[in-house]
Each structure stands twice: as C-alpha cells, then as structure tokens.
C-alpha cells in the first residue's frame, strides 16, 4: 500500500450523474491488479467527510489511472467538482483483485450500475492475455449506461435496462441466456441484490464456473482496522477490504 497525492488530470461525464476522473500518481498506479481499489480523501483537509472513500480502479495506463463513480453524497460531489490540477490525497492499491485464468478462455463480465467500473480494466487485461470477453451491464435506463466506446474493440458489449430504453428490458441477471453457457469463467460487480439473483441463476447450471465477485461495502479505513465492512460468508465473518473485495459468489450467497 502506498500513501500519496494524486494530481487530477481530467474529469468527464460517464453517464447521467456519473463521472470518470483521471489522475497522475505513479505510486498508486504501479502493480495494480484488476478489481483492486484505492482510498480517496474527498475533502481538502480530510475533515468533512472525515473518512476516505473506496473506488475501484477503472483503468490504468502507465503512471495514470482513472476511477468511475456516481455522485451520491458530499464526498463524490466534491470530487466531481475539483478543477484540473487539483491535488487529492489517496492510498492504495488495496484488496484482492480478480484472478484471470492462465489459459485463454471465454470470460463473462457482469456489472450492475457503477459496479461496471472495475470490469473495464479487467476486460483490457483479459483481451491482452488472449481471452474472449463478453461484458454485460445492467442499468436503470439508457442514460445510465456506460458508452460502448469505453470497451476494447474485441469485447462484445451487451446492455440491459430496467425500463427497456436500451437493450433487453429487466435486470441483467434475467438475460444471461446463452452467455452463461458460453462462459468458462464469470466475474461480477454490483449491488447485493444482483449477486443474490446471480447465485440463484447460476447455482444449478452444472457448469462449475466458480464465479468471482467484487463486494460493494462501506469501507471507512480500507485495510482491516475498523471492521466496518464485515460480511458473513459460509466460512465465517470476513472483511471486505482485507479478505476481499473478491469473493467466490457461492461462498457468500
């Protein structure tokens, strides 16, 4: 873990109410695994909000990295309004990320809302390693979807919206269809109800895919000191920040 300051390079809209911010910080971009996260102090003096916020690495490019986030409170609002050149205190990379197979395979990436963030970096690494990738995103409406241009051109991008304004109508877990049969490995990130629905869908498909998920929990410290992100698994209580955020889907649901 590195404690450092990052220089804001740019902030651009990702979809309605969400943004992508790029930072220059060599120490924080070095050695990042797909699915890891960085803790960001979303205030000038770290007093309000007092605790840092956890953000998945969205993309990593040399000494630069990007995070994708939805504005939901004072911290993310503050971050979205910072000017280019602003210096932001951070520490990371943290957590246990996804494990990509050694041999090329068919990878299905499933994201719900802002949970799509770590899957873009995962897709870039997977394509570079020779895997075939399908990425599925579920969102409320077309205005809450990540652009297809954000993905490597080799990735098949499938969208599902709750109101049917783009792609199939409903929840992403209702439209796995042929993709769950095609996939040799499944990765997912999103809200807890999505994970429960995913477990109910995949539990008895006989594919033995051992899906890996990234849990989204409030992580005040990010490295296992505060116990604020404890979750119950079939192997006992685990900390999302220290033992995860990667877990086997069926160990939790």
Domain CATH for 35: 2.40.30.10
Within-domain flag for 188: yes
The pLDDT value recorded for residue 220 is: 87
Look at the block and give the residue holding tokens 């998920």: 213
Q: Which residue has the higher pLDDT, 9 or 52?
A: 9
User: Same domain, yes or no, for 19 and 40?
Assistant: yes
Residue 221, domain member (yes or no): no
166 and 205, same domain (yes or no):
yes
8 A C-beta contact, residue 186 and residue 248? no
What is the pTM assigned to this prediction? 0.94
Tokens of 161: 């919206």
Please state, in angstroms and as integers, the Cα–Cα distance from residue 50 to each residue in 74, 78, 220, 221, following that order.
11, 13, 9, 11
Among residues 42, 73, 94, the one where a domain terminates is 94
Residues 131 and 161 in one domain: yes
Within a domain: 33: yes
Mean pLDDT, residues 122-144 taken together: 98
> What local confidence, expressed as pLDDT, does residue 46 receive?
52
80 and 113 assigned to the same domain: no
Q: Are residues 68 and 119 both part of a single domain?
A: no
The domain in which residue 153 lies consists of 106-214
Inter-residue contact 117 to 76 (CB < 8 Å): no
Instruction: Judge whether 147 lies within some domain.
Output: yes
Are residues 189 and 118 part of one domain? Answer: yes
pLDDT, one tens digit per residue, over 205-244 is 777 778 999 998 889 889 888 888 999 999 999 999 999 9
88 and 119 both lie in a single domain: no
Q: Which residues contact 33 (CB under 8 A, 6 or more apart)?
A: 93, 96, 97, 98
Looking at 71, 94, 117, which one is the last position of a domain? 94
Helices of type H across 46-205: 74-80, 117-128, 177-182, 192-202
Task: Say whether both 51 and 8 belong to one domain.
Answer: yes
At 173 the three-state DSSP class reads: helix
Return phi, psi of residue 25, to 5°: -165, 90
Specify the DSSP element, H or E, that contains 178.
helix 177-182
* 236 is a domain residue: no
Asked whether the beta carbons of 96 and 164 are under 8 A apart, the reply is no
Residue 226 lies in a domain: no
Residue that is last in its domain, among 50, 72, 94: 94
Q: What domain count does the chain have?
A: 2
Reported as a single tens digit per residue, the pLDDT across 72-131 is: 998 999 999 999 999 999 999 999 999 999 999 999 999 999 999 999 999 999 999 999
Is residue 83 domain-shared with residue 112, that is, in the same domain? no
Please state the length of the chain.
Answer: 253
**Residue reference for tokens 């990425």:** 135
Same domain, 119 and 189: yes
Q: What is d(CA 175, CA 132) in angstroms, rounded to the nearest whole number?
A: 19
CATH number for the domain spanning 156: value is: 3.40.50.80
pLDDT at 2 (0 to 100): 83
Q: Please check whether residue 99 lies inside any domain of the structure.
A: no
Judge whether residue 49 has pLDDT over 80. no
The answer on 135 and 78 residing in a single domain is no
Q: According to the model, what pLDDT value does residue 47 have?
A: 61
- Residue 236 token pair: 């006992």
Does residue 199 lie within any of the structural domains?
A: yes
pLDDT at residue 44 tops 80:
no
Average pLDDT over residues 153-181: 96
Is the domain of 131 the same as that of 207? Answer: yes
Rounded CA-CA distance 137/18 in Å is 15
């Amino acid at each position: 873990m590195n404690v450092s300051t990052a220089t804001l390079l740019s902030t651009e809209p990702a979809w309605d109410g969400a943004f992508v911010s790029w930072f220059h910080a060599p120490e924080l971009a070095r050695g990042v695994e797909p699915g890891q996260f960085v803790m960001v102090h979303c205030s000038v003096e770290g007093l309000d909000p007092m605790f840092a916020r956890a953000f998945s690495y969205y993309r990593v490019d040399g000494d630069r990295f990007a995070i994708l986030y939805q504005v939901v409170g004072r911290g993310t609002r503050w971050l979205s309004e910072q000017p280019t050149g602003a210096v932001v205190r951070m520490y990371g990379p943290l957590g246990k990320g996804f494990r990509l197979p050694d041999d090329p395979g068919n990878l299905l990436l499933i994201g719900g809302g802002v949970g799509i963030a770590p899957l873009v970096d995962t897709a870039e690494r997977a394509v570079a390693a020779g895997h075939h990738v399908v990425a599925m995103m579920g969102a409320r409406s077309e205005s809450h979807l990540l652009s297809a241009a954000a993905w490597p051109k080799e990735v098949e991008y499938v969208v599902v919206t709750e109101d049917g304004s783009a792609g199939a109508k409903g929840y992403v877990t209702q439209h796995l269809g042929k993709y769950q049969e095609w996939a040799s490995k499944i990765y997912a990130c999103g809200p807890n109800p999505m994970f429960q629905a995913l477990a109910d869908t995949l539990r008895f498909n006989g594919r033995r895919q051992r899906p890996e998920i990234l849990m989204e929990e409030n992580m005040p410290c990010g490295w296992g000191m505060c116990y604020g992100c404890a979750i119950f698994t079939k192997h006992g209580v685990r900390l999302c920040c220290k033992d995860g955020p990667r877990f086997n889907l069926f160990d939790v649901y």
